[in-house]
């Protein structure tokens, strides 16, 4: 009887995760097919001779590999980075605190600090290296005018750094949650691939973003005791333990991620694609095209 109850409980949890993943996939297909992508085609230029190195070769291999699936999925994943990076730590912290899930609440705080650290490192490196973006340096690049970045410099990729900061932070806090680990790193990899596909980053920019994002999360995780202690002191809760009892991390994380993107796409749809939220490593801007 007891074994049957445990089995049913485990089966229900797996079913909920599968349902969330299915919803996530349907969101990708629906939102990607709903909004026009606006890719600009290349113009032939036989007089142009571009640099020959592995970075440019790999960039061309990805950027020239046009296909319907990537045209649908990549712009969606690219536009989702900002709402997910904001909604995930804030929503995670609020819901976890309301349900007294202290471990999840602390995870949300560490996630937010990791993201901030990643943005700071990215901004500093961009202005130290000052590398031009591929569409500015190379000719005949496929680029998406709706996903154009607002800052000038290319290395490292801020979108990729943010996505890998999220994935690494969640992995370090939830090593026993395969759905969280696989889902977050799959999302991060798609974001990185998409930045090349959209013509705004070289592969080495993506690698740099991966290292910055993962490194920021690892740094914050190494300081987790001090950060959690300061957070508890701030709220006058010195005796709260960093315990993972009663955690609901996997469905909550997946639900917040899907929800943030759905809200973002609904707002864009209601605005008739006249609302553009753009972000780089230094600023956030909201524009209405009237």
Asked if residue 9 is part of any domain, the answer here is: no
Q: What does the pLDDT read at residue 70?
A: 85
Phi, psi (rounded to 5 degrees) for 46: -75, -15
Residue 153 is classified by DSSP as B
Tokens linked to 107: 């995870």
Q: Mean pLDDT, to the nearest integer, of 153-174?
A: 93
Average pLDDT, the chain: 75
Q: What does the pLDDT read at residue 272?
A: 53
CATH number of the domain enclosing 211: 1.20.144
Q: How many domains does the chain have?
A: 1
Asked if residue 234 is part of any domain, the answer here is: yes
Asked if residue 256 is part of any domain, the answer here is: yes
Beta bridge partners of 287: 276
Asked if residue 37 is part of any domain, the answer here is: no
Asked if residue 5 is part of any domain, the answer here is: no
Asked if residue 187 is part of any domain, the answer here is: yes
Asked if residue 53 is part of any domain, the answer here is: no
Q: Mean pLDDT, to the nearest integer, of 261-267?
A: 61
pLDDT at 213 over 60: yes
**DSSP-derived secondary structure for 77-138:** HHHHHHHHHHHHHHHHHHHHHHTT-HHHHHHHHHHHHHHHHHHHHHHHHHHHH-PBPHHHHS
pLDDT tens, residue by residue, 26-51: 443 333 333 334 444 444 454 566 77
Q: What is the pTM of this model?
A: 0.73
Boundaries of domain holding 76: 69-288
């Amino acid at each position: 009887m007891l074994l049957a109850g445990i089995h049913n409980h485990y089966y229900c949890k797996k079913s909920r995760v599968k349902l969330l993943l299915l919803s996530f996939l349907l969101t990708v297909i629906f939102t990607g097919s709903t909004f026009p992508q606006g890719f600009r085609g290349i113009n032939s230029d036989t007089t142009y001779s571009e640099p020959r190195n592995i970075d440019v070769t790999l960039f061309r291999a990805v950027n020239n590999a046009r296909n319907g699936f990537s045209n649908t999925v990549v712009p969606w994943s690219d536009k989702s980075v900002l709402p997910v990076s904001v909604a995930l730590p804030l929503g995670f912290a609020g819901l976890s605190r309301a349900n007294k899930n202290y471990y999840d609440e602390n995870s949300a705080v560490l996630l937010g600090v990791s993201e901030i650290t990643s943005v700071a490192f990215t901004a500093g490196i961009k202005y130290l290296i000052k590398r031009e973006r591929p569409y500015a340096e190379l000719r005949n690049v496929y680029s998406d005018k709706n996903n154009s970045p607002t800052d000038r410099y290319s290395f490292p990729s801020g979108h990729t750094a943010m996505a890998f900061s999220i994935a690494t932070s969640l992995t370090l806090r939830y090593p026993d949650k395969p759905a969280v680990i696989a889902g977050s790193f799959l999302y991060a990899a798609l974001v990185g691939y998409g930045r090349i596909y959209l013509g705004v980053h070289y592969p080495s920019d993506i690698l740099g973003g991966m290292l910055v994002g993962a490194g920021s999360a690892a740094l914050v995780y190494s300081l987790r005791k001090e950060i959690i202690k300061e957070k508890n002191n701030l709220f006058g809760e010195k005796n709260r333990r960093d315990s993972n009892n009663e955690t609901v991390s996997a469905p909550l994380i997946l639900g917040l991620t899907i929800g943030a993107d759905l809200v973002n796409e609904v707002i864009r749809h209601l605005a008739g694609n006249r609302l553009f939220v753009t972000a780089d490593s230094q600023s956030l801007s909201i524009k209405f095209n009237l």
